[in-house]
Amino acid sequence: MQKVYAALMTAFDENGNIDEKGTREIIRHDIDVEGVDGLYVGGSTGENFMLGKDEKKRVFDIAWDEAHNDDVDLIAQVGSPNLHEAMELAKYVTNELGFKTISAVTPFYYNFTFDEIKHYYDEIVKDVDANLLVYSIPALTGVSLSLDNFAKLFENPKIIGVKYTNADFYLLERIRERFPDKKILSGFDEMLLPALIEGVDGCIGSTYNVNTKVVKEEIDAYNKGDFERARELEHQKNDVITAMLNNGIYPTIKLILEHMGVHAGYTRAPMAKYDDKVIKGADEIYNKYFK
């Protein structure tokens, strides 16, 4: 069965400080209420790229402490264009905590060459007892990896697959065909069904913090060969995602969590404070789809 991972949100207080209690509540909600199979900690949804190194460690501490005794997979996203930091975080989550799988975003901003990117990944996994998923999200990083690039990265046996947040289904099909044993986790929640058809091993996403049940139902219908039902559920899920995207995805998910009694708090600047329009929009989405 394909696994569903919530890309874990981080709760912040009104001043943008990490709210430990709220973050723990989100973890409990994801596991106990949504029934996710795993958590992807420190990703885009966790607002990780707006955190300092010690704050990143704190989020890993909280997630590990709260969830390591639960029957869920835990993945720590440690990547950053600061390779020293990425290596330190990789060591931290594996040696000081007990993460067995790490992930790293492709290094961004400086138009690194592929050789530099390969060196980055080899360095991150070199001294740690963990496997790594490449985090590929070209729309935000500007870094597109080709099939041959993936082949070179996958030569390192510790690099076990990719979190694929990309709408290029031809490339996805080519990766699946060439690397049947590598793990591919689909990252665009709104493109789950086409990704399932291409044979992904599961999915990681922000909306699974609140909308996992319909997704599990959809995966189940797909696996039973009931494609009509799977398509129906994909439409149902995407009505919700479209509304969320139009209202601002992270604020809306956090505000929906608040409606569910989970203190998900605020987003962090430079993300804007919620205004009345966003709050009203989230109320409407909650009332329409979640009540």
Q: Please identify, using beta-carbon distances, which residue of 4 and 130 lies nearer to ligand SI3.
A: 4
| Interface with ligand SI3 in residues 112-171 (CB under 6 A) | 140, 165
**Of these, 38, 107, 202, 205, which contacts ligand SI3 (CB under 6 A)?**
205
**Rounded Cα–Cα distance for residues 239 and 234 (Å):** 9
**Pick from 7, 74, 128, 143: which binds ligand SI3 (CB under 6 A)?**
7
**CB-nearer residue toward ligand SI3: 87 or 244:** 244
Single residue of 94, 206, 209, 211 touching ligand SI3 by CB under 6 A:
206
> Which of residues 49 and 152 has its CB atom nearest to ligand SI3 in the complex?
49
Question: x/- string (CB under 6 A) for ligand SI3, residues 28-57?
Answer: ------------x--xxxx-----------
Minimal CA–CA distance to 179: which of 201, 151, 198?
Answer: 151
Tell me how crowded residue 280 is: count the other CB atoms within 10 A of its CB. 12
100 classed as catalytic: no
**Which one of residues 19, 34, 189, 198 is an interface residue with ligand SI3 (CB under 6 A)?**
189
| Cβ closest to ligand SI3, residue 1 vs residue 140 | 140
66-88 exposure pattern, b = at least 16 Cβ within 10 A, e = fewer? bbeebebbbbbbbbbbebeebbb
| Residue corresponding to tokens 């440690």 | 78
Nearest-angstrom CA–CA distance, 108 and 112: 7
Q: Is 52 exposed, middle or buried (0-12, 13-18, 19+ CB in 10 A)?
A: exposed
Distance CA 201, CA 151 (A): 18
Active site residue 135: yes
User: Is 251 one of the binding residues for ligand SI3 (CB under 6 A)?
Assistant: no
CB of residue 139 vs ligand SI3: minimum separation in angstroms?
8
CB of 104 to ligand SI3, least distance (A): 11
Catalytic residue among 163, 182, 216, 254: 163
Gap between the Cα atoms of 49 and 53, Å rounded? 10
Q: Token pair of 62, please?
A: 């909280």
Beta pairing class for 159-164 and 183-186: parallel
Positions that interact with ligand SI3 (CB under 6 A): 7, 40, 43-46, 140, 165, 187-190, 204-207, 241, 245, 249
Q: Which residues does the annotation mark as catalytic?
A: 135, 163
